[in-house]
Amino acid sequence: MKKIHTLFLFLFFLSCGTASYSQHNPVSFQTSTHGDTLVFDAHIESGWHLYAANLPDPTGGPLPTEIVYDDPAPELIGGILEPKGHVEMDESFGVEVKYFENKTYYKQVLASTAKEHITGTIYYMVCNDEMCIPLEYKFSVNP
């Protein structure tokens, strides 16, 4: 039943958010490399928050930020690294969530920087006091 409720909330937020904000994206990303680490810096508009990749309860809340690499995907060491962020109970989702305001970063360590070109997509969800919007950002970086 909890999964149906979560799916309903997601579809509701998706339909409400995309109807009025189909062209609006409150997050801008910059992609870079520092040695063997990919860095995705996110700047978030005031009034919005971006959900973490590592949510306290990933089964029943908002969509976590996810980084998906195009084939051939680079070999990674460990998972996504991110700052501490804000952790609180979200009444809309009924679970504890972790999110960021104003700015944040996501990092992934590469096993090797031999690959010349890395591309992929960051899937993420942003919310304000009125709606949530699932979005994506396509990236391309030369390590």
Q: What is the pLDDT of residue 15?
A: 52
Total number of domains constituting the chain: 1
Q: What is the pLDDT of residue 92?
A: 85
pTM for this entry: 0.81
Per-residue pLDDT tens, the chain, 143 aa: give them: 444 444 444 445 555 544 444 678 999 999 999 989 999 999 999 999 999 999 988 788 899 999 999 988 899 999 999 999 999 999 888 999 999 999 999 999 998 866 678 999 999 999 999 999 999 999 999 87
- 45 secondary structure, DSSP code: -
Domain range for 74: 2-141
Q: What is the pLDDT of residue 82?
A: 98
All residues at 6 or more sequence positions from 87 whose CB lies less than 8 Å from its CB, including other chains? 56, 96, 97, 98
Q: What is the pLDDT of residue 72?
A: 86
Q: What is the pLDDT of residue 6?
A: 46
Q: What is the pLDDT of residue 4?
A: 46
Contact predicate 41/34, CB 8 Å:
no
Ramachandran category for residue 78: left, alpha or beta (phi over 0 → left; psi -120 to 50 → alpha): left
All residues at 6 or more sequence positions from 114 whose CB lies less than 8 Å from its CB, including other chains? none
Here the CATH number for the domain that contains residue 91 is 2.60.40.1250
